[in-house]
Structure 1
Amino acid sequence: MTTLRLGDTAPDFTQQSSLGPISFHAWADDAWVVLFSHPADFTPVCTTELGRTAALSGEFARRGVKPIAISVDPVDKHQQWIGDINATQNTTVDFPILADADRKVSALYDLIHPNASATATVRSVFFIDPKKTIRATLTYPASTGRNFDELLRVIDSLQLTDSHKVATPADWKDGDDVVILPSLQDPAELAARFPKGYTAVRPYLRTTPQPNR
């Protein structure tokens, strides 16, 4: 089985979902996508995660991101579970949950780790850009729920660094100072790109206010 790496094209697939058949690349269109897997339906941590995703629908939409979940249970179980999620998390799940009962997508994305579980998928997250390129991944065990502030932070960083010659430092969050790429040395370009100026802590470590603020 080939392990997906950063920079790889996210595999295309057609699979059933809670909102009908999904042809992944066509469904994604020109949006960013967060694809995230769940060990099973009717599990406590997954219920909170899907509820949190629904509650953050406005934040995802503001960033041009489509969330899509995956579980190895069939559509009828997904529909029943969505009722529980909506009731217990006080929200409305309006994004698709892939019904990967044949484990086709799980195999494509290497979501079953036999040393953790031979049947349940791990908690993986794939951040996929509009060109269908995998830009970042996170993987957690079944027992550890995801931090959705971190998911949004990663998206913010990817989108910011795509449009400006900067990187985001440790613990950065939207609005904080960023660092200028060491490859950018031309004084005229520095002045044009960073009119607010910058602080050279070291020649390779230059901080500047976030340029899209």
Structure 2
Amino acid sequence: MARSTQGAIDLDDYRGSWLILFSHPADFTPVCTSEVVALARAAPQFAELGCRLLGLSVDSLYSHLAWIRLIRDTAGVTIDFPIIEDPTMEVARAYGMVGADARDSGTVRMTCFIDPDGVLQASNGYPLTVGRSIPEMLRVLTALQAVRDGAGLAPADWQPGAPLLGLPGETAEAALASEDPAGWFHASLGKQG
């Protein structure tokens, strides 16, 4: 259980829907502010994909509240997703959101994609100086949803609506017994078999 800008949060409450849990290094900083504003603006797109957003940093609840109020008052953007305060870094440590050197008590810029069963499916991190890409977050989420039930594989630069790659045989014998045993390989290279 954690405190957030929208009350007590239990990650188990998010089961049944996709969740993007993202950490930011600090409130009131330029890159973090740009990301939170961009995520708030894109929140309807995530909602259409059945995904909820949840922010996190080690800053206090009162800092989070003042920050989102300032964003609302100066940029006219309402932050409708909760932001967790994590002063003990318990949640951040559980999801690898603390820097390897851990010289300070700040979280790194990390994005975790958690499926409806509560399983971490993907994560990526960014340096303090570079913000995350909202279109890439949407692409990764859509790809994870598309491949979730073993429907195929999302190749490099896959975009929503593009075909997935077929799954190769589970064994060498099964792959060789296929009519086109190298078809998955040729498709991944963008060639016909």
Q: TM-score, normalised by structure 2?
A: 0.85
Name the residue aligned to 2:124: 138
Higher helix share: 2
Q: Does 1:205 align with 2:185?
A: yes
Q: Which of residues 125, 141, 148 in structure 1 aligns to 2:111?
A: 125
Q: Does 1:51 align with 2:37?
A: yes
Name the residue aligned to 2:2: 15
AA in 2 matched with 1:146: R
CA offset at residue 65 of structure 1? 0.5
Name the residue aligned to 2:59: 73
Identity, % of aligned pairs? 35
CA offset at residue 202 of structure 1? 4.2
CA offset at residue 87 of structure 1? 3.9
Structure 1 contact 54–94 (Cα < 8 Å) conserved: yes
Moved over 6 A (4+): none
Question: How far does the alpha carbon of each residue in 1:121-149 deviate from its partner, in whole angstroms, 9 at most, with x for none?
Answer: 11111110011111001011111100111
Q: Within 2, Cα distance between the matches of 1:77 and 1:57? A: 22
Structure 1 contact 51–86 (Cα < 8 Å) conserved: no
Structure 1 contact 123–142 (Cα < 8 Å) conserved: yes
AA in 2 matched with 1:22: I
Aligned ranges 1:101-112 → 2 under 5 Å: 101-112=87-98
AA in 2 matched with 1:44: P
Sort the Cα spacing of 1:52 and 1:117 in 2 relative to 1 into closer, same or farther, 3 A.
Answer: farther
Q: TM-score, normalised by structure 1?
A: 0.77
Sort the Cα spacing of 1:23 and 1:116 in 2 relative to 1 into closer, same or farther, 3 A.
Answer: closer
Name the residue aligned to 1:9: none
Determine helix, strand or coil for the equivalent of 1:113. Answer: coil
Name the residue aligned to 1:24: 11
In the alignment, structure 2 segments of 5+ residues that lack a partner are 188-193
CA offset at residue 101 of structure 1? 1.9
| Equivalent residues, number | 182
In the alignment, structure 1 segments of 5+ residues that lack a partner are 1-13, 191-199, 208-213
AA in 1 matched with 2:71: I
Name the residue aligned to 2:191: none
